[in-house]
Amino acid sequence: MADVSIRNVTKRFGKTEIIHGVSCDIREGEFIVILGPSGCGKSTLLRLIAGLEEITSGEIAIDGRVVNRLEPAQRDIAMVFQNYALYPHMTVYRNMAYGLKIRRMPAAEVDRRVRAAAGILELSELLDRKPRQLSGGQRQRVAMGRCIVREPKVFLFDEPLSNLDAKLRVQMRMEIRKLHEELKITSIFVTHDQVEAMTLGDRLVVMDNGAAAQIGTPLEVYERPANLFVAGFIGSPAMNFLQAEVAADGRRLVLPDGLDVALPGAGVPARAGRRVILGVRPEHLEPNGGRADGIRLAVDHVELLGADTLVHGRCGSMALTVRLADVQRIDKHAVIVLHAPPEKLHLFDPETKARIEK
Amino acid sequence: MEKRVVFRNKVLPYLLVAPQILVTLVFFIWPAAQALVQSFLQEDAFGTSSAFVWFDNFVEIFTSEEYLGSFRVTLVFSFAVAAIALSVALLLAVMADRALRGATAYKTLIIWPYAVAPVVAGVLWFFLFNPTVGMVAFFLKKFGVEWNHTLNGGQAMTLVVVAAAWREISYNFLFFLAGLQAIPGSFIEAAAIDGAGPWRRFWSIAFPLLSPTAFFLIVVNIVYAFFDTFGVIHAITRGGPNYATNILVYKVFNDGFINLDLGGSAAQSVVLMAVVIALTVVQFRFIERKVHY
Ligand SMILES: Nc1ncnc2c1ncn2[C@@H]1O[C@H](COP(=O)(O)OP(=O)(O)OP(=O)(O)O)[C@@H](O)[C@H]1O
Ligand SMILES: [Mg+2]
């Protein structure tokens, strides 16, 4: 167990900078998820922590010790690769024992640890198999077993569930979380799947194009996204964004089609008369119920999902999606007026893209 | 996944393979059959008469001290060539693989020697070690080594082994390099995280994964050393001095075309054919089993 501190880390491949000064303090025993779209540099950041790539500038410390110059082997970390990277010519047992034997651990202790890990991961029956004789889920477990036996300071995971089918992914997700609760080893988990991120992480690092767009608990990231990128990336279906203008009193927003919505509390008087971007999640919009203010939605098409109904349409010229509970019979081409609870509204600055605190 | 071409026309496929079959018949099957027949005949030196002698030719070669000596020479020669060609190639391939992971620009450069080697190699070695004009022979003399492979059997053997191995190195190198490049980087990275140093990573991960390639190359190299080194021997030592480098293929040629013992020579080539067939069977057996893992 150890804390990991990442300070202003950058990484350049040749002339292109891929990681632009990421900082993050990971506490002892914490489960951190690095989340972001493909190509944003998640794997690269993880490989920098592992020592598989050299950092260009900045500092990484594990358990208080700066590891910039240390080989992966000296960092006391273990990693689960996306393709598992199980040694194909070794049995499950030897795969797990390999790292321990290299560290010259007595054979009896090696055996004890491998069997203990195999017990936890339900691999005891499979110890004599070669990786190719295992199913995807079993391979995944062997890859985890190889990490567990080492009892490292930090676990690193690079999209370990992405090769599994949907059902197995949910199951392994829960197993990983359960395992973490038992072992309490500091873990850094890379994924582009936000459900994985929200369910696994104590905190998320949302990455955008080589920078940390926001670091926070899943709930913080969902409820108070720090900028337009995070707001649009977290949540499915994605948050709606509408161009709006703050009314002269600073307490209401005027939408393009003339309707307006109230802002909570004192509103944003400092921005009276200024343009802002209004963000509201599809699940937070509700039928108006005869109120005076609201958002007018011209329905284009309706998706009935059973548990809820997605209504896609336009507000003025901007796309808008609403999620309504249960099955709702709504006609195509209908116009419905929606209410947005003031405390569920997000405001963003059109220039800086940053969140405007209300 | 297997891709098959399906021909509608019944004749076309046979027409397409016909040239290949023809070539095989004329240049392989026909001479092989001739040799087989010949090996049971005894001919006089002028080729005017021949008699059917059953297995006399075979009995003769296997009781001939000279033939058994040649067999021993061939074994030493083949294993030395294979060992040197494989180990040097593997070493070079590992170094090249290191340089290549990441950069791709070198790749074509590294393949160049292969295009040059076979043609130049024999002549090159001959001149380098030539006792009167050779550079290497000159320097060896300076260091007190009297180099004369035309007199010293051990030196002659060393030279033909080196010259024959040299030709094979670039071939083996390409296979080893391709094999190494096919090993996913994550295996090596996982081993690095597990704490294995470069040496250990190579022997415990990369080399076992390379073993099918290595096995294939061992057989190919032995076959090469057995059969395809006639040119090297002929150019450098002509089997001498005193039969020290008289490998089986060279002896076949010598007995048949120089000493005109056609029956004996044919019997020897039949033995060689049996060796090739045996090696090929071994090869296929193992390759089919995809070599353990
Ligand atoms: N060795 C390298 N040399 C040059 N560029 C690289 C190298 N490794 C990664 N990159 C670049 O860095 C960027 C980030 O790559 P990275 O693999 O970290 O993305 P990722 O967030 O893990 O994406 P994914 O979700 O698709 O795995 C990409 O644009 C990639 O092309
Ligand atoms: Mg990645």
The predicted pLDDT at position B170 comes to 79
A71 with B192: Cβ contact below 8 A: yes
Domains of chain A: 4-232 (3.40.50.300), 239-356 (2.40.50.140)
B47 falls within a domain: no
- B42-B43-B49 Cα angle (round to 5): 120
The share of chain B scoring above pLDDT 70, in percent, equals: 84
For ligand 1, whether the C-beta of A44 sits within 6 Å is yes
Locate the chain B residue with the closest alpha carbon to A133. B293
Is there a domain that residue B18 lies in?
Answer: no
CB pair distance less than 8 Å for A88 and B209: yes
Of B190, B196, B292, the CB nearest to A85: B190
**Choice among A112-121, A216-225, B138-147, B221-230 with the minimum mean pLDDT:** B138-147
Chain B nearest-CA residue for A47: B189
Does residue B50 surpass a pLDDT of 80?
no
Q: What is the mean pLDDT of chain B?
A: 78
For residue A153, the SS3 value is: coil
pLDDT by residue (tens digit) across B253-272? 877 777 777 777 778 888 88
CA of A204 to the centre of ligand 2 (A): 16
| Phi (first) and psi of residue B239, to 5 degrees | 85, -15
Q: Which residue range(s) make up the domain with B277?
A: 58-290
Closest residue of B to A148, CA-based? B194
Whether B25 is covered by a domain: the verdict is no
Q: State mean pLDDT over A344-350.
A: 91
Return the residue in A44, A46, A52 with the most chain B beta carbons within 10 A, the one to mutate for interface testing.
A52
In a domain, B142, yes or no: yes
**Which residues in chain A are contacts of B201 at CB distance < 8 A?**
none
pLDDT at A223: 93
What tens digit of pLDDT does each residue of A280-323 get? 999 998 887 766 667 888 899 999 988 899 999 998 888 899 99
Does B124 fall in a domain? yes
pLDDT at residue B118, rounded to an integer: 47
pLDDT in tens, B224-246: 888 777 777 877 777 777 777 77
Distance CA A173, CA A165 (A): 12
| Residue B9 maps to a domain | no
Among protein residues, the one whose CA lies closest to atom 18 of ligand 1? A41
Residue B1's pLDDT is: 46
Query: Using the beta-carbon criterion (under 8 Å), do B194 and A73 form an inter-chain contact?
Result: yes
Whether the per-residue pLDDT at B21 is higher than 80: the answer is yes
Query: Are residues A72 and B187, on separate chains, in Cβ contact within 8 Å?
Result: no
pLDDT band per the 50, 70, 90 thresholds, residue A46: very high
Among the bound ligands, name the one nearest to the CA of residue A41: 1
Ligand 1 midpoint to CA A39 (Å):
5
Question: pLDDT tens digit string along A87-119?
Answer: 999 999 999 999 999 988 999 999 999 999 998
pLDDT digits (tens, 9 = 90+) for B57-78: 777 777 777 788 888 888 888 8
| DSSP result, chain B | -------S-SSHHHHHHHHHHHHHIIIIIHHHHHHHHHTTEEE-TTSS-EEE-TTHHHHHHHH-HHHHHHHHHHHHHHHHHHHHHHHHHHHHHHHHHHHHTT--THHHHHHHHHHHHHHHHHHHHHHHT-TTT-HHHHHHHHTT----TTT-HHHHHHHHHHHHHHHHHHHHHHHHHHHHHHS-HHHHHHHHHTT--HHHHIIIIIHHHHHHHHHHHHHHHHHHHHHS-HHHHHHHTTT-STTTT--HHHHHHIIIIIS--HHHHHHHHHHHHHHHHHHHHHHHHHHHTTS--
B64 in A contact zone (CB under 8 Å): no
Asked if the structure places residue B242 within a domain, the reply is yes
Q: What is the pLDDT of residue A94?
A: 93
Q: Is the CB of A210 under 6 A from ligand 1?
A: no
Tokens of A325: 């509970």
Q: Whose CA is nearest to atom 17 of ligand 1?
A: A43
- Is A224's pLDDT higher than 90? yes
**Residue whose C-alpha is closest to residue A143's, from A156, A109, A154, A128:** A156
> What digits encode the pLDDT tens for the residues B86-142?
999 898 888 888 777 755 555 555 555 555 554 466 677 778 887 777 788 788 877
> What whole-number distance in Å separates Cα of residue B144 and Cα of residue B126?
20
Q: Flag if A102 and B293 touch (Cβ within 8 Å).
A: no
The pLDDT value recorded for residue A234 is 92
Q: Is the minimum distance from the CB of A41 to ligand 1 under 6 angstroms?
A: yes
- A91: nearest Cα among A123, A56, A50, A59: A123
The enclosing domain of B189 has a CATH number of 1.10.3720.10
Any idea which residue has 């290549």 for tokens?
Answer: B100
Average pLDDT of span A135-144: 89
**Residue of A73, A89, A130 lying closest to B193 (CB–CB):** A73
Q: Indicate whether B15 belongs to any domain.
A: no
Q: Which of B51-55, B266-270, B277-281 is predicted with the least confidence, judged by mean pLDDT?
A: B51-55
Q: Please state at what angle helix B262-288 crosses helix B30-38, rounded to 10 degrees.
A: 130
By alpha-carbon position, which residue is closest to atom 11 of ligand 1? A18
Inter-chain residue contact A99 with B192, CB threshold 8 Å = no
Give the global pTM: 0.80
Best residue among A42, A81, A192, A194 to mutate for probing ligand 1, ranked by most atoms within 8 Å of CB: A42
- Within the 283-342 window of chain A, which residues sit less than 8 Å (CB to CB) from chain B? none
Interface predicted TM-score of the whole assembly (ipTM), two decimals: 0.82
pLDDT for residue B35? 77
Average pLDDT, chain A: 89
pLDDT at B226: 82
Window 154-213 of B: residues touching A by CB (8 A cutoff) are 184, 186-187, 189-197, 200, 204-205, 208-209
Contacts of B212 in chain A (CB under 8 A): none
Number of compact structural domains in chain B: 1
pLDDT 10s digits, B156-174:
888 888 888 877 887 888 8
Q: What is the pLDDT of residue B119?
A: 47
Per-residue model confidence (pLDDT) at position B292: 47
